[in-house]
Amino acid sequence: MEIAKIYKEKKADIPTFLKGDAEPIVDPAQFEVMKTNFYITKTFTDEELKAVEAYMYSYAK
């Protein structure tokens, strides 16, 4: 919920981050750990990435 809230407030682009094409804005100290997941998310289609973003935003308050 916190990540979605921060991305929404900053009008940041979750799909771009999940593709590995944007710097982290939530917890840069954890970036090395987070980017190990990019090998999975880089294979997602744009439609799938938008669905992940919509899912995350559904929890933002």
pLDDT at 45: 97
Rounded to whole angstroms, the Cα distance separating 13 from 56 reads 12
Rounded to whole angstroms, the Cα distance separating 46 from 61 reads 25
18 pLDDT tier (thresholds 50, 70, 90): very high
Structural domains of the chain, ranges and CATH numbers in brackets: 2-57 (1.10.760.10)
> What confidence tens digit (pLDDT) does each residue in 19-61 have?
989 988 988 888 888 888 899 999 999 999 999 999 999 987 6
* 3-state SS record for the chain: CHHHHHHHHCCCCHHHHHCCCCCCCCCHHHHHHHHHHHHHHCCCCHHHHHHHHHHHHCCCC
1 pLDDT tier (thresholds 50, 70, 90): confident
